[in-house]
Chain A
C-alpha cells in the first residue's frame, strides 16, 4: 500500500522488540467477541489510477457552475479566485500542520491569523475578530449564545429575512440549550414586525445584511430599539464581498457580526468547507467563542504571535467553556486572507462595485420580461423576482436549457405559500454579457 512505509521485515523486527508474537497480541484488550476475523465487506485497495478514474466519473455527473451561465446565491457565491491562492494554501507547511499549539514552530500560521483577524475587524467595522468558525450559519448560532452570556437573558429574536437555514440552526440550538427564539414576520424588506417583538427580556436581535432576499435596508431604528432595551444587535453577512460597497455593520451599532467568508478564496464546494467570520466589540472579547491569536514577544524580544485567552475554551474550561468548538476553519481562513491581501482596498472595493453593476444590469434585463417583477429595488448583487408561476419548475426547466438560473425561495421556505413564485437571483463578476443574455432568453422561453 503506497501510503504505508513499514515493510514486512520492519513489522517482524518491531514485534520482536515489543516482545509480541503477532500483531493481534497488541489488540488483546479488545473483547474476543468484538475482534473482526476477516475483512470488512468493501473493495480491496486500489491504485491511484483506478481511484482517480472512479472519482472523475462521479464528478462528471455534476454540472460545474463554471461550465454554464450560473446565477445562484442564497448564502454561497461564485467568485473568481486568483490562481496564487490555491497554490499558496497547498504549501505543505500550511496544509499539513495543525493548530499552532507550539508557537515557536508555527509563526507562519499565527501571523496570517493575526493579519486575518485584523482584516475581518476592518471590513466589519468592529474592534476584534476571532480566527474563524466553521461557517456563517454556525457562527450565527455562536453569536446568539454569546449574546446570552453577555446579557444574561435567554430570548433571541430573528428577523424573518434571515437565511432560513441559519434560522433552523439557531432554533436547533435553542431547543437543546433551552432558550427562546421568535422570528419576525418580515420577509422581503422592512423591520416593522421585528421592532414590535423587542422588549426588556430580549437578549439579541439577529438581522442579515443584505437580507436573504437581497434587500439592503436601514437598520438604525432596529439598532436604537435593541440598545434601548439593553439587548445586543447581531448582524449576519452571508456575502462578504458586499462589505466592499455597503456600510459596515459597526457603523450602525452592531455588537456582534457573523459572516460567511466563503466568497473570498474558498469556492462553492457544494456547501463546505466554508468559514465563519466572527467579530465583536473590545469589551466583549472574553465572551467570544473560538480561537484567538494575539501578539507578544519571545524571550529575545523579537515580535511573535501565540494563541491567547484560551481560558475561555473547552480544553481548559471544559463544561464551563464559551463553546465546545475546537478546530476552526484554518486553511479556509488562509485562503480568505490571501485573496483579501491580493485585492487590497482598491481591488476589494472595485470587486464589490463590479458585482453590484452586473447585478443591476441583470435585474433590469430580467424584470423587463413580461410578467417578471423585481421585488427588491435596493440590493447589492442578489435580488428577488416574482415570476408569473411557481419558481421551482421554472428553475428545473432552465437547468434543462443549460442555465442555472437562481434558487426558488420555496426550496428553503416550503411552508410559506407567498414564496411559491419567488426566484432569488445572484450575479457576480464571473457573469459575462453572454451569460446574462442566455439567462434572459432562456427565462423568456420558459415563461412564454
Chain B
C-alpha cells in the first residue's frame, strides 16, 4: 500500500499512546518478565555436565529422594531473563543517583578487571601462605594507605561491611575497657545517627543514650558533656554528620570523652568529604570504619557486598581482631590465631574473630586500584569536588527549597519539606516525581532530626552539565508543586516500570517466596 497513512489516519495523542495497552503487555524496550518458576522447567538446564561414573554412592540413606522443584533455563533463556530484569533497574550508570549518605559515585571498570585476575579471584583463603604472597602484599598495601589517609596507627581489615566495622570498633573499645578493669554500661549516640549505631551498641551489650542535636544541626556539646560520666564507654559520632555538616567542636568533644575515660568511635560513612583534606586521627578519634563501597567506589551491587575496615588508635590497636597481615623477613604472613598474635607482639590481645577467613579480598583489590589511580592528589580532589558539588546544589536550590541548617555543607546537602507546606505534597511525593524526571531520588526521611528530610549527595562523579540539569529539574518540580500541580506528584512515578507499590499489603500478609498455585 503506497497511500500515505499520515493523511488518511488520525494520529493518537502522546497521552493516548502512553495509556494504551499492548497485547503482550510489553512496551517496546519495556519488557514484562515472568518469574523463573513460570518460565523454567525442572528438566531444562543451561549447563552441560559430564555424566557421573557409575561409582556407588557413600551416602546411603542420607541421599535426597524427592524432587526439589528447581526450575532450569537454557543459557539463551537465562541471559534474556536477567537482561530484561536489569533493564527495570536505575543505576549510577543510568543517571544521577544522589542518595545521601550512600556515596553513589562512579565505579571504575579497571577495578572490576583487576579483581577478576585469577591471581586474586581464583585463590583459596586457606592455601599455604607462600602461595599467596601477592594477595597478602595487597592487603598490607591497602591497609597502609588507609592508615596514611586517616592518620591512624592500626587497622582491622576483616569487617565485611560498614555495620560489621561498627561491631568491630565497639568490641575493640569494650575489650580495651575491660582490659583496664573498667567495665562501663552506656554508649552515647546522637539522635541524627545512622540506625546501625544504636543497633551495634546494643548488640555489644551496651545501653544506648541519645544525645540531642542543637539548633545548628550539630551534636549538642553541652548536653553531651553533661552525660559523660564513669558509666559511658564510648560515643559514636558521624563526621561529617548525617545532616551533611562538619562537627566543628569535634576536637573539644574528643578531649572531653577521653577525660571521662571513654573512647571515641567515629562512623566513617561520610569520609568521602574529608579524604586527603582532613585526617580523622588528627581529630582525636579512637576507631572509625571506612566503607570501601562508598569512599573507595567498590560497586554497591544492588545492596552489597561492601567492606568495612576499621582504623584504630594506639589505645585500641592491641585488641584488633584476627586475622591480620604482618610483614617480616620471610615475606607477608597472616596471623590467624591467638598464639601467633602473642608470638608476634607482646601486647597483642585480639578481641576475637568477626568472620571466617580474611575479609572482602575482592573489595580490597578494587579499593586499592582506586587508591593508586587517584593517588594523594586525586583523592584530595575527590573530597573537594564532592563538597563543591553539594554546596553548588545547595546554593542553587536554597531560594526555592528549605535548608534547615546554614552552609557551607560538606559532601551532602539536607533540605526539609517546609517548602512544600500547604501544597499537599510530601517528601515521598516529591521523590517519586524526581523518578519521572529521570533521577534516582535522594535519601528521604533521614536523618530523623528534621521533618521530611531530603538528603542529597551528588558526589564528585557528576559533570557541571549534569548538576545543572538536576538543579533545573528540581526547580521545575518545586514550581509545579507551588503552582498546585498536585496530580503530577500524587500519581508519580508514571514513567517507571512500576507505579507506586503497596508496601502496607506486602508487610501485612508477607509473600516471601513463590508457591505453585
Q: Which residues of B contact A56 (CB under 8 A)?
A: 114, 117, 119
Known: A330-B301, A340-B70. 8 other contacts (CB 8 A): A63-B131, A78-B122, A92-B94, A93-B90, A246-B63, A295-B511, A327-B304, A360-B58
Interface-lining segment among A47-55, A186-194, A435-443 = A47-55
Give min CB distance, B48 to chain A, whole Å: 9
Q: Which of A25-57 contact B (CB under 8 A)?
A: 25-31, 33-36, 39-46, 48, 50-52, 54-57
Which A residues touch B11, using CB under 8 A? none
- Nearest-CB distance from B401 to chain A (Å)? 15
A23 at the interface (CB under 8 A from B): yes
Interface 9-residue window, one of B222-230, B258-266, B458-466, B479-487? B458-466
A42 contacts B355, C-beta separation under 8 Å: no
The answer to whether A97 touches B91, judged by C-beta atoms less than 8 angstroms apart, is: yes
Are B502 and A61 in touch, CB under 8 angstroms?
A: no
List B residues 38-77 near A (Cβ within 8 Å): 40-47, 49-53, 55-64, 67-73, 75
**Which one of B160, B356, B377 lies within 8 Å of A165 (CB-CB)?**
B356
Q: Does A10 contact B (CB under 8 A)?
A: yes
**Would you call A329 and B304 a contact (CB within 8 A)?**
yes
Whether B119 and A62, one on each chain, are in contact in the complex, defined by CB atoms closer than 8 angstroms, is: yes
Closest to A45 in B: B375
B128: A residues at CB distance < 8 A: 395-396, 399, 404
- For chain A, which range describes its interface: under 10, 10 to 19, 20 to 34, or 35 or more residues? 35 or more
- A residues within 8 A CB of B496? 104-105
A36, B280: Cα distance in complex, Å: 11
With contacts A60-B119, A108-B85, A330-B303 taken as known, whether A44 is within 8 angstroms of B58 at the C-beta atoms is no
Residues of B within 8 A of A (CB-CB), count: 203
Interfacial chain B residues near A25, Cβ < 8 Å: 408
Tell me the minimal C-beta distance from B22 to chain A in angstroms: 13
A417 at the binding interface (Cβ < 8 Å): no
Q: When A292-B510, A308-B510, A354-B50 are in contact, do A58 and B73 touch as well, CB less than 8 Å?
A: no
Tell whether, in the assembled complex, residue B118 and residue A59 are in contact, meaning their CB atoms are under 8 Å apart: yes
A100 near B145 with CB under 8 A, answer no
**Residue contact A313 to B362, C-beta cutoff 8 Å:** no
> 26 A-B contacts, Cβ less than 8 Å apart?
A27-B278, A31-B248, A64-B122, A74-B126, A78-B122, A97-B302, A98-B99, A98-B303, A104-B497, A106-B89, A108-B87, A163-B356, A175-B351, A245-B63, A247-B62, A269-B120, A273-B307, A291-B303, A296-B506, A297-B502, A299-B502, A305-B501, A308-B503, A328-B304, A360-B56, A407-B126
B498 adjacent to chain A (CB < 8 Å)? yes
- Cβ-defined partner of A65 (8 Å) among B79, B124, B301, B507: B124
Please tell me if the beta carbons of B42 and A356 are within 8 angstroms of each other in the complex: no
Chain B 262-283 per-residue mask, 1 if CB under 8 angstroms from chain A, else 0: 0000000000000011110011
A43 touches B372 (CB 8 A): yes
CA distance A138 to B354 in the complex (A): 7
B380 interface residue per 8 A CB criterion: yes
In the bound complex, residues from chain A placing their C-beta under 8 Å from that of B33 are: 111
The number of residue pairs between A and B whose CB atoms lie closer than 8 Å in the complex comes to 714
Which of B1-9, B133-141, B309-317 makes up part of the contact surface?
B133-141
Given contacts A97-B300, A102-B435, A317-B195, contact A72 B127 (CB under 8 A): yes
Contact code string A327-371 (vs B, CB < 8 Å = 1, else 0): 111111010001011111111111101101100110000000000
Is A228 on the interface with B (CB-CB < 8 A)? no
Smallest Cβ distance from B408 to chain A, in angstroms? 4
| B-side contacts of A275, CB under 8 Å | 305
A423 interface hit (Cβ, 8 Å): no
State whether the Cβ of A221 lies closer than 8 Å to any Cβ in chain B: no
Contact A75 B356 (CB under 8 A): yes
- Counting CB contacts under 8 A, is A185 at the interface? no
Report if A199 contacts B (CB, 8 A). no
**Docked-complex contact B46 and A94, CB < 8 angstroms:** no
Report A268-293 residues with CB < 8 Å from chain B CB: 268-273, 275, 285, 291-293
Does the CB pair A109–B499 fall under 8 Å?
Answer: no
Which residues of the other chain, A, contact B43 by a CB distance below 8 angstroms? 344-346
Complex CA gap A350/B108 in Å reads 38
Q: With A67-B118, A273-B160, A294-B510 in contact, do A135 and B68 touch (Cβ < 8 Å)?
A: no
Chain B residues, Cβ within 8 Å of A97: 89-92, 97, 300-302
Q: Establish whether residues B145 and A55, one from each chain, have CB atoms under 8 Å apart when the complex forms.
A: no
Give the complex CA separation of A244 and B47 in angstroms: 15
- Do residues A360 and B82 form an inter-chain contact, with CB atoms below 8 A? no
Q: Which residue of A lies closest to B57 (CB)?
A: A356
CA–CA, A48 and B373, complex, Å: 7
- What chain B residues lie within 8 Å of A87 (beta carbons)? 79
Indicate whether A373 reaches chain B with its CB closer than 8 angstroms.
Answer: no
Distance of A297 Cα from B355 Cα, bound (Å): 38
Contact with A along B164-205 (1 / 0, CB 8 A): 101100110010000000000000000000111011111111
Cβ of A324 < 8 Å from any Cβ of B? yes
Q: Give the docked Cα–Cα distance between A137 and B90 (Å).
A: 32
| Smallest beta-carbon distance B517→chain A, Å | 13
Shortest B468–chain A CB gap in Å is: 10
Instruction: Give A413 to B353 CA distance when docked, in angstroms.
Output: 14
Residues of B close to A315: CB separation below 8 A? 194-196, 446
* Residues of B429-448 contacting chain A, CB below 8 A: 431-432, 435, 440-441, 443, 446
Specify which chain B residues have a CB less than 8 angstroms from the CB of A244 in the assembled complex. 64
Contacts of B81 in A (CB 8 A): 341
Contacts of A217 in B (CB 8 A): 62
* Cα–Cα distance between A118 and B512 once the two chains are bound (Å): 8
B88 touches A105 (CB 8 A): yes
Q: Are A28 and B501 touching (Cβ within 8 A)? A: no
Q: Identify the interface centre among A18, A23, A29, A294: most chain B CB within 10 Å of its CB.
A: A29
B513 contacts partner chain A, Cβ-Cβ < 8 Å: yes
B68 adjacent to A348 (CB under 8 Å): yes
- Are A342 and B72 interface neighbours, CB within 8 A? yes
Q: Which A66-113 residues have a C-beta within 8 angstroms of B?
A: 66-67, 70, 72, 74-76, 78, 82, 84, 86-109, 111-112
B514 within 8 Å of A (CB atoms): yes
Q: In the bound complex, do residue A104 and residue B500 qualify as a contact, i.e. CB atoms below 8 Å apart?
A: yes
Cβ-defined contact, B162 with A327, below 8 A: yes
For B88, list chain A residues within 8 Å (CB): 93, 105-108, 111
Q: Are A51 and B304 in contact (CB under 8 A)?
A: no
A444 sits at the interface (CB 8 A):
no
